[in-house]
Chain A
Amino acid sequence: MTKMIGQRAIASLLSLLGLMVLVFFLSRLTGDPAVLFLPIDATEQMKQEFRALHGLDLPLIEQFGRYLLDLLQLDFGESLRKARPAIDVVLEAYAWTLPLALITMSLVVVFAIILGSLAAFNVGGFFDRLISVVSLVGASAPDFWIAIVAIVVFAIGLGWVPTSGVGTPLHWVLPVAVLFIRPFGLVVQIVRGSMLSALSAPYVKTARAKGVKNLPLIFVHTLRNGMLPVITVIGDQAAAMLNGAVIVETIFGFPGIGKLMIDSILQRDFNVVLAAIMVTAIAIFIMNILIDLAYGLLDPRIRH
């Protein structure tokens, strides 16, 4: 187990390094931060001083070497815009994104599993059709459209929830609800399909021959087997959410990692972009390990 995690960590570290090189050089192709940061009538000398102050006048290779050296001491550099350590800015945003992703994914998992399993058991029935329609709509509706319609209806029209920002628990309702819809639609369909094939497995026949009742038949005998393919999809969806829900965060003015990343890219705040990407990559790495552990937990054949 420790060996597995160790090997994974080394492989991930290599891809992280590659990613960093790519982002470091590509982001510098977007242009000169000095143009964006200084007033429009700033003189060339002022721009020169700005570049010298932030080390942006050095050859690219030297800039990269310095960045790596600092990184070895866990120094991610300063944010140009906020004049604070980049890592602090990123972790602050993460403190918003993490609970958002956690709450949304927990709801997705619970609802998708229960509703998808019941639909599979009742295949072809009214409930099954209802779930199919709902999930199809959910999986295919664009989230920016849902977000805007939701604001129009629930925030402006009915006035039940605030339109954007954070502060009270009510502020969380719309972002969570809008983020929930698409992964729910996808996962519920996977659960239904996976449970459908698990329900026709021979061991379910054995359970019936034993006189096992319907609920334990579905949720004890079949679900644990049916969950195996579902976990992979849940992992994918969770990874997407850890990346920050750029559109939803932007529309709702939610100060998460997605919004931070898009803002920093637009402002050419390179250090923040790099720090955000690295923290996200580490979060996704940890989540993949958790998914692998979940596989082992569910299926003894993988454990042994």
Chain B
Amino acid sequence: MSEALLTVKNLSVDFHTAGGTVHAVKNVNWSIAPGETLAILGESGSGKSVSANAVMNLLDRPPAEIVSGEILFEGRDLLKISDEDHRALNGKKIAMIFQDPLGHLNPVYTVGWQIMEMMTAHGRPASAARARALELITRVGIPEPEKAMGKYPHQFSGGQRQRLMIAMALMLKPDILIADEPTTALDVTIQAEVLSLLKELQRETGMALVLITHDLGVVAEIADRVVVMNSGEIVEAGTARDVYHNPRHAYTQKLIAAAPGKGDIKLLDDAAPLLLEAKKLNKTYGEFAALKDVSLTLARGQSLAVVGESGSGKSTLARTLLRLETADSGEAFWKGRDLISMNARDLLGCRREIQMVFQDPTQSLNPRMSVYQLIAEGWDIHKLMPNRSERRARVLELLEQVGLSPEHADRYAHQFSGGQRQRIAIARALALEPELIICDEAVSALDVSIQAQVIALLDSLRQRLGISFLFIAHDLGVVRDFADTVIVMKSGEIVERGPTRQIFETPEHPYTQRLLAANLDPDPDVQAQRRIILSNG
């Protein structure tokens, strides 16, 4: 390995919060050489972003306190230099991009101005900044660069915004680019494009790339070396291949085992009776067609996955089937009864039989209701379980069923982790003894290890209780593990459907093939193989 460009040595950072002191990172060591890509891998709360933020002087102190350590760059300890010196380095020598480019771009200024500011803030003339900005906006593949300069962040797509952030970061040709979850909010095909853009730009400029991620697939695709973080400590470090194939630490092993998309594919039970049927559903919002002639069938105990990128119409489909949206045309039958023309009273009955679990349990659970109230609320609405003591017993039973304990019943949602909250949402759905649960990206916001647990829970519910699932997801690995039938949607249309094995092993539609190719495998060797295939043809 060539000489290190940036070295983080024995860094420990504490956060002083109202609830006490949290040791965010403990004795963290890593370094990066010119032209190298280092991934810092960890789940939420692992402290993976803290050291990078310390490098950029972005930690708010207080609450953060740097307890010990040094960060060496060009012979100086970055923890000891003044704010003024940090400002001179930031953007010029070390630049950073972030997870959510919409939030991280200022909504009230044009992107051209914001990109140029990278140079003007460092004392370069506006004319030079303008020329360089145009060059980079063109380079990162934004159409009509001149026009794009005058537009605002909300006028671009998510992928374009991240490209613009990258253009901004590269304005002063930094030696190091720190990318904090740069593709997490993006669709898989866009993610693949952004990652390959980052790699190309790295090759052109020779910059070092520090990539902070929770995604083994991203590590496999782009990283030379990886450090794995858990609870503020680095538990393992090495080349990406080594760590994947020979994980030594128990946490790394668990993380790799939890990566979705590696288990057996389920087979479809053809004999099960039909539960839900939709025929030629259409829904438009103004000019925009969200659903075009969508038809599907779902049998009892079956799990049907709806796969597609953002804007493909998957959530509209779920909302239309629940009658939260009114279809413009088409038919839908629930156990043979017409869902579309059903009156309000019958619909209420169906609503009990069809339950929904949403993506973000933090927002879908009322923060002012205890877990008991959240789970029991459905019984009030549907006038079930009038007996109080029976209710209590049933709530405790449900909590146990989803892997929580009875003492959780009187707590509030904010006292739980993301995974636990989603379990509460599932218990809430189960309380009404539904026959179908619609999961709208129900595991997308969860860490991989938690995701695997929730998927296992849903699968056991399906086997024990015979519940059907309509499973809306963009993560193909999760779909492969859970679904027995898959529908692929694009721009409101179903482009391909079939048993999971057929979709994953012999996809026919070019879009399905593209989706599968863009889906990152956690195995670096598999990713390397794919890159060779891609570059050859």
Contacts and interface: CB of A to CB of B under 8 A. Distances in A.
Q: Do A and B bind each other?
A: yes
Interface of A: 201-203, 205-213, 216, 221, 224-225, 298-301, 304
Given A210-B117, A213-B87, A224-B109, 20 more contacts: A205-B58, A206-B105, A208-B56, A208-B57, A208-B58, A209-B56, A209-B91, A210-B90, A210-B91, A211-B88, A211-B92, A213-B121, A221-B106, A225-B107, A298-B108, A299-B107, A300-B152, A304-B152, A304-B154, A304-B155
Q: Nearest 3 A-B pairs (CB), nearest first?
A: A211-B90, A202-B103, A203-B106
A201 B103 contact: yes
Interface of B: 56-58, 86-92, 95-96, 98, 100, 103-109, 117-118, 121-122, 152, 154-155, 165, 168
A212 B109 CA distance: 15
A contact patch SS: helix
22 contacts: A203-B107, A205-B98, A205-B104, A206-B98, A206-B106, A208-B58, A208-B90, A209-B56, A209-B90, A209-B96, A211-B88, A211-B90, A211-B92, A211-B121, A211-B122, A213-B87, A213-B121, A216-B121, A299-B107, A301-B107, A301-B152, A304-B154
Contacts of B165: 206
Contact of A203 (B56, B57, B88, B103): B103
A221 B106 CA distance: 7
Nearest to A206: B104
B132 to A, nearest CB: 14
Contacts of B86: 211
Contacts of A211: 86-92, 121-122
A98 to B, nearest CB: 31
B106 A225 contact: yes
Contacts of B56: 208-209
Contacts of A301: 107, 152, 154
B98 A202 contact: yes
A67 B257 CA distance: 85
Contacts of A298: 108
A207 B106 contact: yes
A300 B154 CA distance: 9
B6 to A, nearest CB: 15
Contacts of A300: 107-108, 152, 154
Nearest to B119: A210
Greatest chain B CB density within 10 A among A206, A208, A216, A300 is at A206
Contacts of B168: 210
Contacts of B90: 208-211
Contact of A212 (B104, B121, B154): B121
Contacts of B57: 208
A216 B118 CA distance: 13
Contacts of B121: 210-213, 216
Nearest to A221: B106
Nearest to A225: B108
A205 B58 CA distance: 7
B107 A209 contact: no
A300 B156 CA distance: 13
A212 B123 CA distance: 11
Nearest to B102: A202
A208 B90 CA distance: 8
Contacts of A206: 98, 104-106, 165
A227 to B, nearest CB: 9
Contacts of B152: 300-301, 304
Contacts of A225: 106-108
Contacts of B92: 211
A300 B100 CA distance: 20
B197 to A, nearest CB: 19
B155 A210 contact: no
Contacts of A209: 56, 58, 90-91, 95-96
A3 to B, nearest CB: 18
B182 to A, nearest CB: 13
B409 to A, nearest CB: 34
A230 to B, nearest CB: 14
A210 B103 contact: no
Contacts of A224: 108-109
A221 B107 CA distance: 10
B144 to A, nearest CB: 17
A210 B123 CA distance: 12
Contacts of A216: 121
A119 B243 CA distance: 49
Nearest to B88: A211
Contacts of B88: 211
Contacts of A304: 152, 154-155
Contacts of A201: 103
A301 B108 CA distance: 8
A177 B154 CA distance: 43
Contacts of B103: 201-203
B18 to A, nearest CB: 14
B287 to A, nearest CB: 16
Nearest to A201: B103
B117 A202 contact: no
A211 B105 CA distance: 15
Nearest to B53: A205
B166 to A, nearest CB: 12
Contacts of A202: 98, 100, 103-104
B362 to A, nearest CB: 18
B88 to A, nearest CB: 6
Nearest to A300: B152
B408 to A, nearest CB: 31
Nearest to A223: B108
A210 B122 CA distance: 9
Contacts of A210: 90-91, 95, 117-118, 121, 168
Greatest chain B CB density within 10 A among A203, A211, A298 is at A211
